Amino acid sequence: MAALIPQSPLQWCLFVIALSSTYIVSFLFYNLFLHPLRRFPGPKFSRASVLPKLYFLSRGKLIYHIEDLHKHYGPVVRIAPNELSFTDPQAWEDIFIRQPPGITKTSHSHALAPDMAFYNPFGDLPPSVISSDDEAHHHLRKKLVPGFSDRAMKEQEPLIGNYVDLLIRRLRENSTDATGRPQSVNMRDWIAYTTFDIIGNLTFGEDFGCLEGSGYHPWIALVLGSFKSRVKIQIFKALGILAPASWLMRSLGVGIKARRMHFELVLSKTKKRIAMGTDRTDFMDTLIKDGMSIDGLKRNATLLVNAGSETTATLLTGAVFLLVTHENVLKKLVAEVRGRFQRQEDMTLSSVASLTYMLAVLDEALRVYPPDAVSSPRLVPAGGHEIAGSFVPGGTRVGIWQWAMNRDERLFLEPSRFDPDRFYNKGDEKSRYAGDRLDAVNAFLLGQRSCIGRNLAYAEMRLILARLIWEFDMSIDQSSKNWIENQENFELWVKPDLNIHLKTVDRGQ
C-alpha cells in the first residue's frame, strides 16, 4: 500500500497530472455520452465543454457562431454541455409566456444589467429590476410602471421634443465646416448624445450635457467603454476563476479610479434627484415615494440609463445606415414623411405614430440589427418543460439568440436582406414575404420580464427618425460603407463611427 503513495516531488507531480487527466476525461465522457442532454444535436466540442462558447464570446463573434450552428444542426442546438439554443418561434411562447412555475433567469451578469457585485471596492448594491429574483421583480416593476404610462409619456413629450430640436440644430451646425464646405457627421455619436440626454433627464432630472457640449459625458464614456470587460468577467465566472481575478485586480488597484468616479457620480446625481421632490413624471418618482434606499435608487437609476439609452441609439444608428445603403427604401420613407408634414411644428410623438412605412422600417431594422442580439437565458425547473416540441430536462439553460432566430432561412425569405415590405405588407397573401414568420422577431422580449421601455423606445425612435428624414437629405460617406459587416458583439454591438453627409432640405423659407 505504501508503495502507491508518491515518494518524491516528481512522483507527486505525475500523480496530480494523472488525477486531473482522469477527472477531465471522465467529465468530457459524461458530457458526451451520459448527460441528460446527450440526445440534442450540436458539435462535439460544444457538447463536451463550455470552452468553444467562451472562445467565441471572448472574440465578440458568439452570435455569428450560434447562427452557423443553427444553419448546420437545425432549430435546436446544444451550444454548451448544459445549454440549448432555439430558433423555433414556438420557443418564445414556451420559454417566456407558458412558463412552468420555478423557471428562473439564470444570469445576473447580462449586458443590460452590469454585474456591479463583481469587484466593487465600495460595497455591494442591491439588485436592480432586471437582476432581481421573481418576487422582488414583481414589486419593483409595479413601482416603475407609472413612469412609463401613456400619461407620463404625454407629459414627457415636450422634454423629448426639445432634445430632438437641439439634435437637429447641432447636426445643421456640424454638417459644414467653418468655411461652409460640406463635411460628414458621425451619426453614431450624435444619436447616442440625444438618447443619453433624454434618458438622463427622465431618470435623474437633469441630462448629461452631451448635446449641449457636443461630446460624451465621462460617465457615459465609462459605461460604453466597460462592456467588453463585463463580458470578460462572465468568462472568468464561467471558468471559475472570478474570485482570484477579482482579488488580484483589487490588490493591484486596477480600475479603482474609474469605479470611484462612477459611484460618486451616481451618488451625487441620485441625491440631486431626491432633493427635487416627488411630483415629476419620471422613472424615479414612485421609487422615491416608496422609500427605496439610496443604494436601491442608485442601482436602478444606472440600469435605466444603460437600458434606455444604448439600445435605442443602437437601433437608430443601424436604421440610418440601412436606409442610406438602400436607396429605394429611403426614397419611400422620404415620400411618406415629407408628404405627410408641411410644417416641422406638426411633428409630435403622437402625430408621427401614423407613419406606417416608417414603423415597418424600424421593425425591419430591429430584425436585421437587434440591439440585444444575444439570448436572455432561463433555467428550466426540476421536472423539466416541453419547449418547441422537445422535452427539456430540469436544470438546463435555455435561450433564444435573437441574431440567429432573425437570420434563419427556415423563417424568412432572404433573411439578410433589409426590406421593410416584410412588415409593411403583413397579412397580404400576395406579398413575396407572405411565408415569413414575423412572430419570430421579439426585440423587446415577451412576458413579465420584457422591456418596460418599449413604448417609449418606439416613440423616441419614430420622432428622431421622422425629424432626420424631414430635415436632411442623407448619404453615406465611403469610409462607412461596410459599417455593419462583421461587427463585434460583446452582448452589445461594438459600433464603429457612422459617417453620414447631411444636406439641409431647402423649403424656400
Binding site for ligand HEM (CB under 6 A): 110, 112, 129-130, 141, 199, 304, 307-308, 311-312, 315, 371-372, 376, 443-445, 449, 451-453, 456-457
User: Cα separation of 96 and 442, whole Å?
Assistant: 11
| For ligand HEM, the closer CB: 35 or 462 | 462
Binding-site residue set? 451
**Nearest one of 504, 494, 478, 164 to 324, comparing CA atoms:** 478
Q: What is the CA radius of gyration of the chain?
A: 25
What is the CA angle 378-384-388, rounded to 5? 70
CB of 20 to ligand HEM, least distance (A): 36
CB of 145 to ligand HEM, least distance (A): 10
The x, y and z cell numbers of residue 56, run together, are 467565441
CB of 472 to ligand HEM, least distance (A): 22
**396 φ/ψ angles, rounded to the nearest 5 degrees:** -85, 140
| For ligand HEM, the closer CB: 193 or 341 | 193
What's the DSSP call for residue 176?
A: B
| For ligand HEM, the closer CB: 70 or 449 | 449
| For ligand HEM, the closer CB: 237 or 501 | 237
| For ligand HEM, the closer CB: 104 or 504 | 104
Q: Do 163 and 176 contact (CB within 8 A), yes or no?
A: no
Binding-site residue set for heme? 451
CB of 304 to ligand HEM, least distance (A): 5
What's the DSSP call for residue 182?
A: B
Tell me how far the alpha carbon of residue 351 is from its chain's centroid. Answer: 28
User: Cα separation of 368 and 422, whole Å?
Assistant: 12
CB of 379 to ligand HEM, least distance (A): 13
The x, y and z cell numbers of residue 266, run together, are 451616481
The x, y and z cell numbers of residue 141, run together, are 416593476
User: Cα separation of 172 and 503, whole Å?
Assistant: 8
User: Cα separation of 396 and 375, whole Å?
Assistant: 14
SS3 of residue 494 by DSSP: coil
User: Cα separation of 368 and 483, whole Å?
Assistant: 14
| For ligand HEM, the closer CB: 324 or 457 | 457
Amino acid identity at 437:
R
Give the residue carrying C-alpha cell 448544459: 82
Q: Do 376 and 399 contact (CB within 8 A), yes or no?
A: yes
In sequence order, what are the beta bridge partners of 83?
Answer: 80, 397
User: Cα separation of 388 and 121, whole Å?
Assistant: 44
User: Cα separation of 320 and 337, whole Å?
Assistant: 15
CB of 454 to ligand HEM, least distance (A): 7
CB of 306 to ligand HEM, least distance (A): 9
CB of 117 to ligand HEM, least distance (A): 17
Mapping DSSP onto H, E and C, the string for 441-454 reads CCCCCCCCCCCCCH
CB of 94 to ligand HEM, least distance (A): 17
| For ligand HEM, the closer CB: 112 or 398 | 112
